Structure 1
Amino acid sequence: MSLTNKVPEKDVHDLFTRVAPHYDQMNNLISLGTQNGWRKKFFKELKVEAGDFALDLCCGTGDLTIALAKQVGPSGNVIGLDFNQKMLDLADKKIRAQNLQKEIQLKQGDAMHLPYPDQSFDIVTIGFGLRNVPDADQVLKEIYRVLKPDGKVGILETSQPTNPIIKLGWESYFKLFPNFAKLLGANVDDYKYLSHTTAKFISATRLKEMLEQDGFKNVTITKLNLGAGAIHIGIKKKMR
C-alpha cells in the first residue's frame, strides 16, 4: 500500500519556500520544544559509526545533517539533499558557521528519484520529511536501493499516539497550531497544511509495516513524547 500526499509537488515546494525562514521554530513547535532531545535519542538508536558515508534526505535547514556529520566524524562524509533551494541556502549558512564544508555536501534533488548509484551509502536518514513527499513508499524504495548491504535507514517523524486521551490532546494541539503562524508572521494557510500532515501522519506500526514490505529487516520503533513522535531504524540485509 502506497502512502501518498495528494497536494501537487509544486505547491508543497512553494509552501516550503515561504516557511523556510520560520522552519526551525516550526519544528520546535511540532516536537513540543523537545526536537534537540529527539535528535539525541535518534542517534543513540541509529548507532552511526565513524567513517560512514551518509545521506540525509529532506534535510531542510540542516540541523539533522550537521548532527549526522558530527557522528561520522572527519573520516566520514554526509550529503544533505532537499528539493527546496531556500532551505539549502539556510543549511549552507549553518554549515559554514560550524566550518563543516569539507564534511557536508548539499544537493538540490528529489527524494523519490535519488541521483545516486545502487549500494552507495552506509546510512540514510530522513527527519520530519516523509509526511510531506508525494509518495512516501517510493522514497523508502529509493532508500533501500542506495543503501549498501547491512546499511541502515533512520527515520525521525511525527506519529499517532495510541492512548485515546493522548491522541485527543495531540489533535487538539494541532488544531491550534495555525495560530502560531501569526506569532511568527507566517502564512496561516501554510501552517494549516503542515498541522494537518503532522497530526494525520500514519501510525508508527503502519510505517514499520511499510519498511518491512520494502525489504528492510530488524525494524525497530522507539516512541517519543508518549507516541507523538517515533524513531524507526531498519537494516538492508545482505543477499544470501
Structure 2
Amino acid sequence: MTLDRQPQEKRSEVHGIFEKIAGYYDRMNSVMTLGRHGSWCREVATRAAPGRGGHLLDLATGTGAIALQAARKYPATAVTGADFSGEMLRRARTKPGAGAVRWLQADATRLPFGDGSFDAVTEGYLLRNVQDLEGVLREQHRVLKPGGRLVVLETCPPSGLVKPVVTWGVRVIVPLLGQIVARDRSSYSYLESSTLAFASPERVAGVLREIGFQDIGWRKKFFGTNVILWAVKPD
C-alpha cells in the first residue's frame, strides 16, 4: 500500500499510521466487520485461483491475512506477501504458517518484479490509500501473466437508501471503536475518512476496463461498506 506518487508528507503520514496500528490491526478488522473479515479474505484467496505450481502476489498484505489464506488453500503455489509497512510485515512473519509465504517490503507503485511474474494478484485495502489509482492498477496488470486474475478487497462508499445511516455509522462508530479497542481514535478517523472518500466499485471497474482487464465483477459486503472486485488479464 505504498504511496510513492503522493506528496512526501502525505506518504509519510499514512505510512506512520499503518506502522502505528499494526499491533491491533487484526483485532480492529474483526471488530469493525463483526467477525466477517476472515471469511472475506478466504473468498479473495478462492477467487484468485492461481493454479497448481503457480505464483500469487498479495499486495498491501498487512499482517498477512489474505496471503496466509492463499498459502493454506494452495500449498503448491508460491505466495509472496508485500507491504510498505515493516511493522506489519514483522507481525505477519510471526503467525502460524508464515514460513510458507515470502514476505517482502515493496512499493506498490513500482513493483520489484518482471512483467508477467504472477498467475494471480490479490490485495486488501490498498487502493483507498493511493493517489494514483490507475498507476497502481497498471503495475498489477504488468506483473500478471496473460490469463492471470486480480482480486481486490476494498472499502466501499455507501449508496442507496441506507447511505445516510451507513455514513453516520462509519463516521461515528469507526473512530469510537478505535478509541475503545485500540486507544487510537485519530488513526481510525483517517480510515473512516478514506472509506467515505474512496471510489465506487463502478469507478474502479471502469479504470480496470481502461487498463485492459476483462471479466470484471464485484460483490458488496456488510451493508455495502466493503466490496470484493475481480478481473482477468486477457490471454
Q: TM-score, normalised by structure 2?
A: 0.90
Of 142, 146, 150 in structure 1, the residue corresponding to residue 143 of structure 2 is 146
CA contact (8 A) 1:158 1:229 kept: yes
Residue aligning to 1:105: 102
**Which runs of structure 2 are paired with 1:29-44 in the superposition (5 Å)?**
29-44=31-46
Residue aligning to 1:120: 117
Distance 1:204 1:188 in 2: 27
Residue aligning to 1:50: 52
SS of residue in 1 equivalent to 2:93: helix
Pick closer, same or farther for the CA change 1:163–1:5 going to 2, 3 Å: farther
Residue 8 of structure 1 pairs with residue 5 of structure 2? no
Between the two proteins, the alignment pairs up a number of residues equal to 229
1:161 deviation in Å? Answer: 3.5
Distance 1:202 1:29 in 2: 24
Residue aligning to 1:216: 213
1:131-164 CA distances to partner (integer Å, 9 max, x unpaired)? 1123222110000000001011000111134322
Identity within the alignment, %: 32
Distance 1:186 1:204 in 2: 32
One-letter amino acid matched to 1:53: H
One-letter amino acid matched to 2:33: S
1:128 deviation in Å? Answer: 1.6
Distance 2:157 2:78 in 1: 33
Distance 1:222 1:185 in 2: 29
CA contact (8 A) 1:153 1:234 kept: yes
Residue aligning to 2:230: 233
Distance 1:57 1:185 in 2: 24
Q: Aligned Cα RMSD in Å? A: 1.8
SS of residue in 2 equivalent to 1:126: strand
CA contact (8 A) 1:50 1:76 kept: yes
Distance 1:199 1:209 in 2: 19
Of 165, 171, 183 in structure 1, the residue corresponding to residue 167 of structure 2 is 171
One-letter amino acid matched to 1:190: S
Residue 91 of structure 1 pairs with residue 88 of structure 2? no
One-letter amino acid matched to 2:84: F
Alignment gaps of 5+ in structure 2: none
Distance 1:72 1:152 in 2: 15
1:5 deviation in Å? Answer: 6.7
CA contact (8 A) 2:116 2:142 kept: yes
One-letter amino acid matched to 1:38: W
Residue 158 of structure 1 pairs with residue 150 of structure 2? no
Residue aligning to 2:126: 129
Alignment gaps of 5+ in structure 1: none
Distance 1:76 1:39 in 2: 17
SS of residue in 2 equivalent to 1:227: coil
One-letter amino acid matched to 1:139: V
One-letter amino acid matched to 1:213: E
One-letter amino acid matched to 2:114: P
